[in-house]
Structure 1
Amino acid sequence: MEFWIIFTKLLLLVYIAYLAVQTNISHISWIVLAFLVYFCANITLYIIKNNTIKRILHMVSIAITTGAYLFVDPLFSLLLPLSIVELAAGFFDKKITLLILSLLPILYMNESLKPLYGLVACLSFMILSLTTIYSDRLVKNEAQIDTMRKKLQKLTKNINENTEYIRQSEYTFKLEERNRISQEIHDKIGHSMTGALFQMEASKRLMETDPQKATELLQNAINISKEGIENIRLTLKNMKPPTEQVGIHRLKLLIDDFNAKQQIKTVLTHEGNLDIIAPIQWKIIHENVTEALTNAMKYSHATHVSVDLKVLNKLVRVEVKDNGAGTAMIKKGLGIIGMEERTASVHGKIIVDSSDGFSVTTLLPLG
């Protein structure tokens, strides 16, 4: 705001100096002195921050301008409107009041100066009004930015706290799962193995004195060991998730992670019996989808990507398709070549199409 007011005053000073020198050469020294005094007062005005002193300096500036108008050159009256408007702005809120106050001196001026003074007064009023509006908006925007910055800091703090909570929850879950497995092994398998060991120790002691009893104890130990082995097998079977759950879960995690890090909306759909997909096929599907999403992020300029997994009668079909610009000529880079090699290792096939967006389809045979 102050920059534009200072700039306007400098323009007025240059204009007054030019006209005064042209018409009043004999008083050049007084004109220069008036300029210097006015310049010093106004420089001090914009350096000091105290409002009371600033108002006093505004009045001093008006007094200097009035004196220069009366005793040096009438053109100095052109500096009055801006000083009056600046001073009055600290006391009156209505803009029309400022304009009226800046126009009051026109009643006491020479007729020849009135049009020019009126024009300068109107321009000074407009400049101050525009700079005030700009300054108010700037302050408002800075306040909004400050508010948004505080909200962002708060959100970041909440995210960090939630991330820490999730990490602690995952760690707690792992500890609980380890404790559960340990307790299950201790209660079922540990007791069985201990019982079998006791039976075998007793059979060893009775081997010479009572072979029949020793044989009976040894058979009991064998039966207990078989039961323990079966418990181990059942425990491991219950702990191990189905292959299709691991595969589709990893794929969902991949899509969720991609959505969180990129602006491209990605959707996963699937249908069919996922149980019949082999682990090696899940591995190839996961790697091919990862490569296709990376290519879509780098080259497609797309806003939407769909990942469609279908289990058909004799094959698994996985299509990754985006709504990007596509390309007139498909140039196979290392990414697509790698996908083809991986897929070919299990007798599958890759189909690339760029007629509508860009799509990569993986076909894997079943059985």
Structure 2
Amino acid sequence: MDQWALINKLVLIFFIALNFVYKETVDIPWAVFLLLTYFCLNICLHLLKQRYQVGLLLLSIALSIIGSVNVSPLFMLLLPLSFVELTNVWTKQKVIPFLLAVIPVAYVDQSIQAVYVLVAIYTFLTYTMGRFYHLRLMKNEDQLDAMRITQQKLMKQINDNDAFMKQSAYMFKLEERNRISQEIHDDIGHSIAGALIQMEAAKRMMSLNPEKAKELLQNAIGITQEGIDSIRFTLKNMKPTTEQVGVNRLKLSIDEFITKHDKHTALTCKGNMDRITHIQWKVIHDNVTEALTNSLKYAERSTQIAIDVNVLNKLIRVEVKDNGNGAVKVEKGLGIIGMEERTAAIDGKIIIDGTDGFSVTTLLPIQH
């Protein structure tokens, strides 16, 4: 805003100075002195605090009038912008500053009345436009500041949620450990302690009462067997199924891919996922990750990627397909060669197709 006003004043000062050069009747030293004084006042106007603005503007107006009376009528051309600035300090109306800037035309020398009106219109329009864009810029900056504050709050919430999730996961692990240790202590520990007591008693009675000792040993065997069964039951409940580990790990990788890249990626699973072994899940995960990376590098125009895991009667079919332009001739790089090698290691096969988009299909045999 200040730059617009200063530029306008410099233009007017330059215009007046040029006119003085071609008029021999003007007292050049006084004209230069008044112009420099006017310029210094307006520099101070934009450097000092707002409470001094009215006084400096009134001095500028007085200086313009003094210069017009004693040196040249052209000094009146400096009045419109000072009037516009002064009235904008008191009111936000757009018409009043223009009217106050035009009113002095009745007291201006007739030789410059037309120029005065043009200057008044020019200064009003440029000042108003500058003020409009200045307010708009300030509004945009306020919005940006508000968005930055909101972003900082959201980032803090994300970090807090992440920390809470990590703490919750850690607490869950601690609670699970405590539950398992308590269960082992209550069930298995008591069983083993009881079996140990029975065997100690059988040892002492072996020479005195073999039948009783045999009975005690049989009881100890039964108690130990119950303890072993309890251990197996606990471990079976703790251990997740192959399907849960494989599918969840694949979903996690896809979710990480979605958060990092702007591509719609969907996973569909069909059939009995329990028939996929751990080693097959490892190969599937590595091949899907490599296929996603290749799609990101070479299928630039693709917007979505479909991942389909289908367990059939005799084989497992995993397809990663995008909707890009595809490729007429597929050149095998290190990524595709690596997929073929690890798939062939477990008697599988890789099929590459670039006719309709680009797809990588992994075929693995069902292991009985």
- Using structure 2 for the length normalisation, give the TM-score: 0.94
Check if 1:79 corresponds to 2:69.
no
Check if 1:320 corresponds to 2:320.
yes
Match of 1:351 in 2: 351
Match of 2:137 in 1: 138
Match of 2:307 in 1: 307
For 1:282 and 1:64, locate their aligned partners in 2 and report how far apart those are by CA, in whole Å: 88
Map Cα deviations across residues 228-279 of structure 1 (whole Å, 9 max, x no partner). Answer: 2222222212221111121111112222222223322211111111111111
Q: Which one-letter code corresponds to 1:95 in the other structure?
A: K
Matches within 5 A, 1:11-90: 11-24=11-24, 27-51=27-51, 53-90=52-89
DSSP-derived class of the 2:309 partner = strand
Q: Which one-letter code corresponds to 2:313 in the other structure?
A: N
For 2:69 and 2:353, locate their aligned partners in 1 and report how far apart those are by CA, in whole Å: 87
- 1:341 Cα deviation from its structure 2 partner: 1.0
DSSP-derived class of the 2:340 partner = helix
For 1:56 and 1:272, locate their aligned partners in 2 and report how far apart those are by CA, in whole Å: 86
DSSP-derived class of the 1:316 partner = strand
Q: Kindly tell me: are residues 330 and 70 of structure 1, through their superposed partners in 2, closer, same or farther at Cα, counting changes over 3 Å?
A: farther
Q: Which one-letter code corresponds to 2:363 in the other structure?
A: L
For 2:329 and 2:104, locate their aligned partners in 1 and report how far apart those are by CA, in whole Å: 78
Match of 2:200 in 1: 201
For 1:94 and 1:234, locate their aligned partners in 2 and report how far apart those are by CA, in whole Å: 84
Match of 2:163 in 1: 164
For 1:92 and 1:231, locate their aligned partners in 2 and report how far apart those are by CA, in whole Å: 87
Map Cα deviations across residues 140-162 of structure 1 (whole Å, 9 max, x no partner). Answer: 11211121122112212222222
Check if 1:228 corresponds to 2:227.
yes
Preserved contact between residue 305 and residue 323 of structure 2 (Cα < 8 Å): yes
Q: Which one-letter code corresponds to 1:251 in the other structure?
A: L
Task: Identify the range of structure 1 (289-298 vs 315-324) with the bigger mean alpha-carbon deviation.
Answer: 289-298
Runs of 5+ in structure 1 lacking a partner?
Answer: none
- 1:26 Cα deviation from its structure 2 partner: 5.3
Q: Kindly tell me: are residues 201 and 217 of structure 1, through their superposed partners in 2, closer, same or farther at Cα, counting changes over 3 Å?
A: same
Check if 1:182 corresponds to 2:181.
yes
Preserved contact between residue 304 and residue 322 of structure 2 (Cα < 8 Å): yes
Match of 1:238 in 2: 237
Runs of 5+ in structure 2 lacking a partner?
Answer: none
Map Cα deviations across residues 109-155 of structure 1 (whole Å, 9 max, x no partner). Answer: 23221111111110100011111111111121121112112211221
Match of 1:362 in 2: 362
Q: Which one-letter code corresponds to 1:21 in the other structure?
A: V
Task: Identify the range of structure 1 (180-189 vs 18-27) with the bigger mean alpha-carbon deviation.
Answer: 18-27
- 1:328 Cα deviation from its structure 2 partner: 4.7
Preserved contact between residue 77 and residue 119 of structure 2 (Cα < 8 Å): yes
Q: Which one-letter code corresponds to 1:345 in the other structure?
A: A
Aligned-residue CA RMSD in angstroms? 1.7
Match of 2:251 in 1: 252
Q: Which one-letter code corresponds to 2:78 in the other structure?
A: L
- 1:25 Cα deviation from its structure 2 partner: 6.0
For 1:326 and 1:30, locate their aligned partners in 2 and report how far apart those are by CA, in whole Å: 81
For 1:110 and 1:355, locate their aligned partners in 2 and report how far apart those are by CA, in whole Å: 84
For 2:156 and 2:191, locate their aligned partners in 1 and report how far apart those are by CA, in whole Å: 52
Aligned identity (percent) is: 54
Q: Kindly tell me: are residues 130 and 346 of structure 1, through their superposed partners in 2, closer, same or farther at Cα, counting changes over 3 Å?
A: same
DSSP-derived class of the 2:351 partner = strand
